[in-house]
Each structure stands twice: as structure tokens, then as C-alpha cells.
Amino acid sequence: MRLRTKITSAVAAFAGVLGGGLVAASPAMASYHDCQDYANTICMMDGSNYTGRVWRQTPDQIIGCRKLAPDNFNNMASLLWNNTRGEVWMYVYDNDNCTGASAYLASGGIWHLEGQPFDGKASSIRVIQG
């Protein structure tokens, strides 16, 4: 193989790995510290006992109604954690356009959804800051 072909192949492989990681990144494995150690975040986990995958954003990253499907977290939340202070309210909805059944959590709240009607139902989220 010629040197130019080897370099081109290496660059393409590296870009594919990098690009795949950025485009198709899925949430990481969760632990209690994934929310506790990050002040001013909205957290969701797919395991009600602080396990599974985690979805975490600051309130400023959630603009208007945000769908969870593009983040690979549609219908997965079994734990909601509003790790913010002050007047920050999170609402999750069972439809992807912030309509339908909803669950609400004020600042500082944790809600284990296992066995609750809203377990694994969140499809969108809206954050309201006072």
C-alpha cells in the first residue's frame, strides 16, 4: 500500500470513529454521583436505583420543549432529579411535543418512578426558571 493511501485510510478511520461518537453518542452508565456531583443540572436515569443510563443537562441547555428521542432517551426515565437551587421546575411529558400526561419536579427534588404510572414514559421535557 502506498504511503498516501495509508494516511488517507488512517484519517478516514479516525474521522469515522470521531464522527460516530459525536453523532450516535448514547448516555453513559449512571451512578448516584452523576447527578449529585453536578450542581445546577436536570438529571434522568433509566434505572430507578441510580443505575443504567443517565441524561443530564443544565437548565439553560433545555430551551422550550425538548424532545428526548434525539438524545436516545425517549421513554426511558425511571428516576427524575432536579439538582438545581432556587426556582427551577422541570416538567416531563409522555408526548414528544410537551403535551399529554406530565410529571413535575421542583428544585432539589428526586422522584423514583419505578412502579409509578409515569415510569418509562417521558418523551419530552420543559424547564421553567423563576
Q: What is the pLDDT of residue 13?
A: 39
CB atoms within 10 A of CB 60: 9
- Cell numbers for 8, please give them: 488517507
Q: What is the value of pTM for the model shown? A: 0.75
Q: What is the pLDDT of residue 30?
A: 61
In a domain, 88, yes or no: yes
In a domain, 66, yes or no: yes
In a domain, 101, yes or no: yes
Q: What is the pLDDT of residue 53?
A: 92
Q: What CATH number does residue 105 fall under? A: 2.60.20.10
How far is residue 111's CA from residue 91's CA, in Å, rounded to a whole number?
12
Residue 10 DSSP one-character state: H
- Total tally of structural domains belonging to the chain: 1
Buried b (16+ CB within 10 A) or exposed e, 23-49: eeeebeebeeebbeebeebbbbbbbbe
Q: What is the pLDDT of residue 29?
A: 58
Please report where in the chains the cell 400526561 appears, as a residue: 101
List the domain range (segments joined by +) for residue 46.
Answer: 28-129
Q: What is the pLDDT of residue 32?
A: 80
Collect the ranges in the chain with pLDDT lower than 70.
1-30
- Cell numbers for 70, please give them: 434525539
Q: What is the pLDDT of residue 16?
A: 38
How far is residue 22's CA from residue 18's CA, in Å, rounded to a whole number?
6
* Residue 47: its H or E element: strand 41-47
